[in-house]
Amino acid sequence: MTDKTTMRILSGIQPSGVLHIGNYFGMMRPAIALQAEGEALYFIADYHALTSVRDPEVLRTNSRRVALDFLACGLDPQRATLFRHSDVPQVTELAWILSTVAPMGLLERAHSYKDKLARGMAATVGLFNYPVLMAADILIYDSDVVPVGKDQKQHIEMTRDLAVKMNETFGQIFKLPEARIQPATETVPGIDGQKMSKSYGNNIDIFGDEKETRKRVMSIVTDSTPIEAPKDLERSTIVELYSLFASKDELANMCDRFKKGGTGYGDFKKELFQKLWEYFTPMRKRREEILRDKSYIDNVLARGAERANEIAHEVMQRVRKAVGLR
């Protein structure tokens, strides 16, 4: 068992599609960095993905690919616990218990729900109840810290609200988790300048092949400023993405050339592609190594599920006793 003074960190990522660089800088890189700070638990949120993925084979394939890509990007299973959401069935039991105290008004105020409806997703109970399942994800592991982007902060606030409601109703059951806002996650723009998302079709995949990755980078939307004219730095998707991969000096050099004029957007895009491709080269090599060991991913996920269930079992015993269940 982990010492009670050890900080427990929790984060999850949906297997709703192939992972892109927004996922990497938004969730994966910060999560990998946090491995050294406490007991880290990272789950592949296949329960959550059911709100959008309807093909069972796609969901299974995506879940395994998320594990592969996370490990390739630097997750160390000796220092962090990686597991599938659905391998801890107690989380859905806790979600139901939380839903019995969750105010409708709280869920109706969820930004992500409104945003998804606005983008054409069906208004299902699962989508509406998404924050309750997310609260269960966090509370069932006695999580101390949840690293999130600014756009996910509301979900942590809702989790804390539900924990307080449970504590007020049934006695002190849950600790209150803290959000750790990751500055890099505020905006990782897609090729159209909006937040990068697979569902928006504006993504650049982490492990896409070279030809497709180059094509995506070269299709970044720009304005019609002539080659010889100075270009707008403030609203440039190229500069914003380049800043994720380049050194300070390299970024300063690109910014100077943007302001001076004389370089076309196409040349800037080529520089961006080169930096992006080089950045992920070591991870592509590690990914190939993992794929050569047929049992590696299964073993990591099995060990992760065992540890996650150990914690969840303890918490659920406490919850069941508090609410009056056997």
Residues 234 and 279: their CA atoms lie apart, in Å, by 24
Residue 39 CA, distance from chain mean position: 18
Among 120-124, 286-290, 297-301, which stretch is predicted with the lowest mean pLDDT? Answer: 120-124
Pairing state of beta strands 39-44 and 80-84?
parallel
Summarised one tens digit per residue, pLDDT across range 267-297 is 999 999 999 999 999 999 999 999 999 999 9
- Residue 285 appears among annotated catalytic residues: no
Residues 315 and 295: their CA atoms lie apart, in Å, by 31
Architecture of domain 8-188+294-323: 3-Layer(aba) Sandwich (3.40)
pLDDT at 1: 39
For residue 186, pLDDT beyond 70? no
Top pLDDT among 3 and 284 is at 284
Residue 69: partners with Cβ closer than 8 Å, 6 or more residues away: 19, 28, 206, 207, 287
Summarised one tens digit per residue, pLDDT across range 251-271 is 999 999 999 999 999 999 999
Top pLDDT among 33 and 113 is at 33
Per-residue confidence at 27, pLDDT binned at 50, 70, 90?
A: confident
Listing DSSP states for 32-44 in one string gives: HHGGGTSEEEEEE
For residue 35, pLDDT beyond 80? yes
For residue 65, pLDDT beyond 80? yes
Tell me which H or E stretch contains 213: helix 210-218
Task: Return the half-sphere exposure (C-beta side, CA atoms, 13 A cut-off) of residue 201.
Answer: 2
Query: Measuring CA to CA, how many Å separate 142 from each of 13, 204, 325?
Result: 19, 35, 20
For residue 3, pLDDT beyond 50? no
Domain coordinates of the chain in residue numbers?
8-188+294-323, 208-279
Task: Report the chain's terminal Cα–Cα distance, integer Å.
Answer: 25
pLDDT at 73: 97
Residues 309 and 209: their CA atoms lie apart, in Å, by 37
- Residue 269 appears among annotated catalytic residues: no
Residues 140 and 175: their CA atoms lie apart, in Å, by 10
For residue 311, pLDDT beyond 60? yes
Segment 19-30 shows an average pLDDT of 91
CB 309 within 8 A of CB 90: yes
Q: Which residue has the tokens 């989380």?
A: 91
Backbone angles phi, psi at 103, to 5 degrees: -70, 140
What residues pair up with 29 in beta bridges, in sequence order?
none
| Active-site residue, selected from the candidate residues 4, 116, 215, 260 | 116
**Could you give the angle at which helices 296-323 and 56-72 cross, rounded to 10 degrees?**
110
| Active-site residue, selected from the candidate residues 150, 195, 211, 269 | 195
- Residue 211 appears among annotated catalytic residues: no
- Looking at residue 34, what DSSP letter applies? G
User: What is the arrangement of strands in the sheet containing 39-44, beginning at the earlier edge strand?
Assistant: 80-84, 39-44, 8-13, 145-148, 178-181
Segment 24-31 shows an average pLDDT of 89
Residues 119 and 246: their CA atoms lie apart, in Å, by 33
Backbone angles phi, psi at 176, to 5 degrees: -95, 115
Segment 304-326 shows an average pLDDT of 97
What residues pair up with 43 in beta bridges, in sequence order?
12, 83
What residues pair up with 13 in beta bridges, in sequence order?
44
Highest-scoring range by mean pLDDT, 18-32, 107-121, 145-159, 312-326: 312-326
Listing DSSP states for 134-164 in one string gives: HHHHHHTTT-SEEEE-GGGHHHHHHHHHHHH
Summarised one tens digit per residue, pLDDT across range 223-244 is 999 999 999 998 899 999 999 9
| Active-site residue, selected from the candidate residues 4, 198, 248, 294 | 198
Separate counts of helices (H) and strands (E) for the chain? 16, 5
pLDDT at 2: 45
Per-residue confidence at 111, pLDDT binned at 50, 70, 90?
A: confident
pLDDT at 117: 83
Q: Does domain 208-279 have CATH number 1.10.240.10?
A: yes
